Amino acid sequence: MRSDLVKKDYTKAPHRSLFNAMGYVEEEMERPLVGVVNSQSEIVPGHIHLDTIAKAVKEGVRLAGGTPIEVPAIAVCDGIAMGHVGMHYSLVSRDLIADSVETLALAHQFDALVLIPNCDKVVPGMLMAAARVNIPTVVVSGGPMLAGLHKGKKLSLSQMFEAVGAKSAGTISDEELLQIEEEACPSCGSCSGMFTANSMNCLTEAIGMGLPGNGTIPAVVAQRVRLAKKAGIQVMELLKKDIKPRDIMTKEAFMNALAVDMALGCSTNSMLHLPAIAHEAGVRIDLEVANEISARTPNLCKLAPAGDHFIEELNGVGGVPAVMKELSKKDLLYLDTMTVTGKTTGENIKNAQAKGHEIIKSIDAPYSQTGGIAVLKGNIAKEGCVVKRSAVVEEMLVHEGPARVFDSEDETMEAILSGRIQPGDVVVIRYEGPKGGPGMREMLSPTSALAGRGLDNCVALITDGRFSGATRGAAIGHVSPEAAMGGEIGVIREGDMISIDIPAGSIQLKISDQELQERMKAFVPKEPKIKTGVLARYAKLVQSASKGAILSAE
């Protein structure tokens, strides 16, 4: 066992004395040591209950003959960090989490790991670490929040942000805003739509690193606790069989994840995280691959914010296995990939079935024949940009309008809330990319403000930053290369016409090639806004969003 390096033979007497100091007994030391990485905290609603999940995991490990050892990981609540300096730290936290899990696992020579994330950057950060460390590992999330209810209609955090826009437009009162505030988030768990956290928890299943139900079982039901116990039991089985993350996270597994991503209509942030996780596993996937899979994969679900259904409802009709079963009917999955169940993907979904086709459409009658995410390219996005096509209304799939140019999210919000953005405009937000931000802030506040003011069906928004999974509308993010890296988005001028054709995968600044070249010759990118601390270091190391915003090894 790996842990023998810290507990066996006479040379490890000093190490054993330190275990003695923590109260471990000889019988525990003879068993495999399983690191239980718990990202619980009292500042993230998706994580506040993870002590319960960790307790269940540890019970499972003990039942199966292991010694669980709980260690911490950080987590950022994107909702609380939204719209101020805090959001610069969200994407940055992904790499801090990956580094800390790697550090704890290898410094203490754990034999296996159970990783307990739930929210946005914690899931991919832990998966990145699992690929790096490559010891038997199971991921078990904390589960989704229940949907809220307002005037008989289900809602989530995205409607809460949109209500701010509605209040600024004078279409709802202070009293109704307060009522929505009190009803939007009724329980602990990751926010209840197909936002980034739930997207990544569902894709963890599709990759094979989470047990069936990981992405959809609500946080507050007993089945979630039972799943956590099973995760603790199952990691011991993986240890016996020596099944490691890189045995699971193969190229074919990532192709499966991308197919499920397109079928579910996941957050555009998955186009940052899947390439970054794959990179750690020694697999290369990029926006071109994503576009190829999107072109052949039908969109089967329209979950909030793209539609009116929520994660708890997806769970009730069969969850991710049912979606994968539909995809398998047209040979859109690799069924021989290994998973943490110890069985193949095909074996896992053999008996899965969608309960009706209201929430999970039949593969023969999908919402669309192409996936929920689209990659666009053009003269202002030569490396590509990303849009959640399934959340765009029909009339905005093709759009042309004048650019309204801003060099930060903050300037944009002021313009939206003061009524300066008009129907037909194309809002351009730059210097919010991985390097220029630094940290590639999510833009839920401006997109929600546009929706709240009734402009999401007539105004497009493009940015070298990114969007929350809660965003809907023609919100096009990850424009690469970003302005701070000398990208063409940096030379767009107020009033320039921009043409967007999502079905054709095109985005174009309507000026001549010669004029674009002249502008680029004279272009001097602005320096990153923050020049101290972890953000300064991140800005120096981070690569393009088109590469998953991974950090350079140099």
Report the catalytic residues. 468
Q: How far apart are CA 405 and CA 402, in angstroms?
A: 9
DSSP H or E stretch at residue 453:
none
Short-list 425, 503, 437, CA closest to 465 = 437
Structure tokens at 322: 């049912």
Residue 327 vs residues 255, 308, 362, 363: alpha-carbon distances, Å: 12, 22, 9, 7
Structure tokens at 94: 């992904």
Sheet containing 137-139, strands listed edge to edge, beginning at the edge strand earlier in sequence: 67-72, 33-38, 112-116, 137-139
The answer for residues whose C-beta is within 8 angstroms of residue 212's C-beta and 6 or more apart is: 205, 319, 320, 321, 341, 348
* Amino acid letter, residue 472: R
Q: How far apart are CA 101 and CA 124, in angstroms?
A: 12
Residue 50 vs residues 56, 384, 467: alpha-carbon distances, Å: 10, 37, 26
Pseudo-torsion of CA 3, 6, 10, 11, nearest 10°? 130
Q: How far apart are CA 461 and CA 320, in angstroms?
A: 31
Q: HSE of 149 in the Cβ direction (CA atoms, 13 Å)?
A: 3
Phi, psi of 139 (to 5 degrees): -105, 130
Helix, strand, or coil here: 114?
strand
Complete DSSP assignment for 496-539: -EEEEETTTTEEEE-S-HHHHHHHHHH--PPPPS--SHHHHHHH
Q: How far apart are CA 462 and CA 479, in angstroms?
A: 7
Short-list 292, 442, 302, 311, CA closest to 361 = 302
Residue 366 vs residues 267, 279, 313: alpha-carbon distances, Å: 19, 32, 18
* Amino acid letter, residue 370: T
